[in-house]
A and B are shown apart, each in its own frame.
Chain A
Amino acid sequence: MEILWSDFFQRALAGGLLIGITAPLIGLFLVLRRLSMIGDTLSHVTIAGVALGFLIEVYPIGVGLIFAVLASFAIEKLRKAYKSYAELSIAIIMSGGVALASLFFTLGKGYNADVMSYLFGSIYTLDVADLKLVGIVTLIVVIVVGFLHKEFFLLSFEEDAAAVTGLPVKMLNMLITVMTALVISTAIKIVGALLVSALLTIPVAVSLLMARSFKSAIILSVVIGEIAVVIGLVTAGIWNLAPGATIVLLLIGMLILTMIAKKGFRA
């Protein structure tokens, strides 16, 4: 139990709570715009950046963040070039990311423990610099969504209608993608690149089963994300389980329970 009061656990909890806000918040707009896979894509590209960071000995999450932002621009460009095949851009960038990552790994010392910690997450190694970065990203995302949630609503509901009302659709699209890149690159140390998209999409999947309005979908997504982070981290801490995996499995459990409850109510 004393693990719960240790500094590293407190830092993990703080980081987890912050990501528990931003990931579902951005995830909601991605899911509603049928772009759920973008999370996975950007996380794979981020890993390439992290690997390069280790290779050139520069702050890995920082390099990962730059890679993710560049990839988000590339996705938007490809999305435009292949308008009717939006998912094609995602597949291309994802495999590009994995290819680059393995290239950088082999150029370095191969797969080592550090890199593995980014693949599967290593929330207990979160240091003060990481926490600051997560804090800044959370602040940016919350402020931007706070000011532009109406516009993002219309963009997700009906992109054409948003364009007809004179909203800068391109800029808004880009903003969501860049914020996604920011959230993912800061979240991978917490849940791991392989699991980060779960944190973006599963709270949203649960909330969509319950929400009647857009406002309630936003609130429910964040609440569900936070519940999973807190219970997941505490459980993992007490029983010495992998924290990222525990959070994700908890989310899947919540999804299954909600689906059963909803069916039960209907029957």
Chain B
Amino acid sequence: MQQIMPLCHDPIIQIENLSFSYGDQRVIQDLNFMVQQRDFVGIIGSNGAGKTTLLRMLVGLLPPAQGDIKLFGESIRKFKDWNRIGYVPQKNAFNPLFPATVREVVMSGLYNNKNMFRRISRQGQQQCIDAMKVMRIEDIANKRIGQLSGGQQQRVFLARALINHPDLLILDEPTVGIDAESQASFFELITHMHEHHRMTFLMVSHDMDRMESYLGAEAALTNGKIHFHVRHSHEIEDCAETNLQHTTAQVR
């Protein structure tokens, strides 16, 4: 199915008067924020600031209590095009002893509401190979995910998120629990992708220094204890679509 590509500055995420509480404790208070096509938004905040709650609402794991979230212009309550969103979870979101190969994990990026009951097509298999090539993990395709280093595992999850060529990539503290060198190269990779591909990024991170050096120290919005740092799309020279294969050169 052909998807309509968003235009250069189209709103990708619109957060409107969003509030959320756990019992009496209000975690998110009247939040308004817009993410445009090709923005890179970094969400920084201390533990318990509501970052995870916000992210869980954005990916549909928690319903917004008050207000609304629009994804690609459509209310999240009705949104169905989840294959337009790539999601990279925290490293500890899965059981490291799980019997799954790298290929099986990357392929699972295609398992969505539209492919239910169906076999993965030849084209899907090819998409999997392509995503593994881009992340340079095709050599370890048959290894068990739990045998890999933290940095390699995150590349596997990134490949899984990219398999559908998403318009929006959401990353939940992707570098927590991986060594410093891998953290640096993962961040470089992500920023390189932002500069060269027509994708929008939303990343929750603890890594203030790196986020601020790429996105600027000044927060675009501060809501309670959450800070949003944004690098807007107009800061990047062109909005043209680029070839994902360029990324391969960046993967170490």
Contact = CB atoms under 8 A, between A and B. Distances in A.
A167 B93 contact: no
B142 A212 contact: yes
Contacts of A92: none
A153 B61 contact: no
Contact of A166 (B93, B103, B105, B113): B113
A217 B99 contact: yes
A259 interface: no
Nearest to A220: B99
Nearest to B100: A214
A76 B87 CA distance: 27
Interface in A232-260: none
A216 B98 CA distance: 12
A161 B89 CA distance: 8
Interface in B106-121: 108-109, 111-117, 120
B160 to A, nearest CB: 8
B61 A165 contact: no
Given A213-B101, A213-B104, A151 B116 contact: yes
A81 interface: no
A162 B98 CA distance: 16
Contacts of A150: 108, 111, 115, 120
Given A163-B61, A212-B142, A213-B100, A153 B85 contact: no
Nearest to A150: B111
A113 interface: no
Most buried by A among B87, B108, B143: B108
A217 B101 CA distance: 11
Nearest to A168: B113
B187 interface: no
B123 interface: no
A244 to B, nearest CB: 28
Contacts of B82: 164-166
Interface in A30-47: 32
Nearest to B115: A150
Given A32-B95, A166-B80, A217-B99, A157 B105 contact: yes
B144 interface: yes
A207 B98 CA distance: 12
Contacts of B83: 165-166
Interface string A161-181: 111111110000000000000
A154 interface: yes
A166 B79 CA distance: 9
Nearest to B61: A163
Nearest to A153: B108
Nearest to B88: A161
B94 interface: yes
A214 B114 CA distance: 22
Contacts of A147: 117
Nearest 9 CB-CB pairings of A with B: A166-B82, A166-B113, A165-B112, A217-B99, A211-B99, A213-B101, A164-B59, A150-B111, A164-B87
Given A150-B108, A153-B100, 10 more contacts: A157-B100, A161-B89, A162-B111, A165-B87, A165-B112, A165-B113, A166-B113, A211-B99, A213-B103, A213-B142
6 contacts: A151-B116, A158-B93, A160-B61, A161-B93, A167-B116, A213-B99
